[in-house]
Structure 1
């Protein structure tokens, strides 16, 4: 019985030691976007309050890794307070009703070298849609004794598919929104 109990404790410890679940370093990570404005320029912004969990990252080829992103919609920041308040309103995100943006990965497919397709579900404005994003694994470094992994995620979504700003024509606010996220995950 003692051997069975010891074996069970040892195997549980081994599994948890290799689970490799990380949370992004908020000081060195960004969840950003850009969208065309009146067809002549782009407006850029980001969400100041967001968290990305990287779970089951046990292989360098990412085959079993999972990304889970949550962002507080009220933390949207384009550098212009009046525009941020408008984006939080019912005209766009309706942050009082739909306070959270969420992405949950369902799979990762290797394209070449450090390039992957990140497949998952994006929930925005209360609507969930499948999306495919480009994922680049930038590698890892030893940062003062802490191994840190880096990733870049990019992709386009259509705001019309999430019923964002439906009163505003594409000539005013582009339909295609480009997402860009730079992420660092320290191991401690």
Structure 2
């Protein structure tokens, strides 16, 4: 009887430890960036085609594994000429490096729903460690379709020079690139 109780307890505890898979709700998500032009004004852009996968076995997401990929050719700054230039070898070199990616290494709960998200960012063929700020809300159940969802907002800053991304002087295009990602994930 003791053996059966032990195995039942082991089975119950391991069921809670199974990882949950999450996928991006593309209709409610954005991946954007901002740079300063001529030390005067912010120029915003986004990647229109990107995907995020998350795996987590804990409800507070403190053990989450996050993978993001973005299609560099989907860059959009609302100006065709600038977008073409950003895709060229002068900046992203989309023909040679068609995707950028982020793979998390750790997520540390700072307090409440705030986290520090550390991982490797790969752009323009260069991989560097980065740490980003993250806010994760949920999970909640959508009352209309009954899907379990989580919301996220990720912000941070990287340096263009660290990724050999464009040779424009910093007086023309800032070295600092602000990153902003937000949206929703659906539990599979």
Normalised to the residue count of structure 2, the TM-score between the two structures is 0.88
Give the corresponding residue for 1:3: none
Whole-Å Cα distance in 2 between the matches of residues 148 and 21 of structure 1? 11
| Deviation digits for residues 37-57 of structure 1 (CA, Å, limit 9, x no counterpart) | 0111000010011000011x2
Whole-Å Cα distance in 2 between the matches of residues 85 and 100 of structure 1? 16
Unaligned runs of 5+ in 1: 1-6
Give the corresponding residue for 1:70: 69
| Deviation digits for residues 95-130 of structure 1 (CA, Å, limit 9, x no counterpart) | 000111000000011111111100000000000000
Give the corresponding residue for 1:181: 181
Are residues 1:104 and 2:103 paired?
A: yes
Give the corresponding residue for 2:172: 172
Q: How does 1:132-143 map to 2 (within 5 A)?
A: 132-143=131-142
Query: Does the aligned pair in 1 maintain the 2:133–2:156 contact within 8 Å?
Result: yes
Are residues 1:32 and 2:32 paired?
A: yes
Give the corresponding residue for 2:20: 20
Shift of 1:180: 0.4
Unaligned runs of 5+ in 2: 1-6
Give the corresponding residue for 2:162: 161
Whole-Å Cα distance in 1 between the matches of residues 35 and 139 of structure 2? 31
Aligned-residue Cα RMSD (Å) equals: 1.8
Aligned CA distance change for structure 1 residues 15 and 71 (closer, same or farther; 3 Å): farther
Whole-Å Cα distance in 1 between the matches of residues 24 and 165 of structure 2? 27
Query: Does the aligned pair in 1 maintain the 2:114–2:136 contact within 8 Å?
Result: yes
Aligned CA distance change for structure 1 residues 16 and 93 (closer, same or farther; 3 Å): farther
Give the corresponding residue for 2:3: none
Runs of 4 or more off by more than 4 Å in structure 1? 14-17
Q: Secondary structure at the match of 1:136?
A: strand
Aligned residue pairs total: 175
Whole-Å Cα distance in 2 between the matches of residues 157 and 86 of structure 1? 20
Shift of 1:183: 2.2
Normalised to the residue count of structure 1, the TM-score between the two structures is 0.88
Q: Secondary structure at the match of 1:83?
A: helix
Whole-Å Cα distance in 1 between the matches of residues 16 and 73 of structure 2? 35
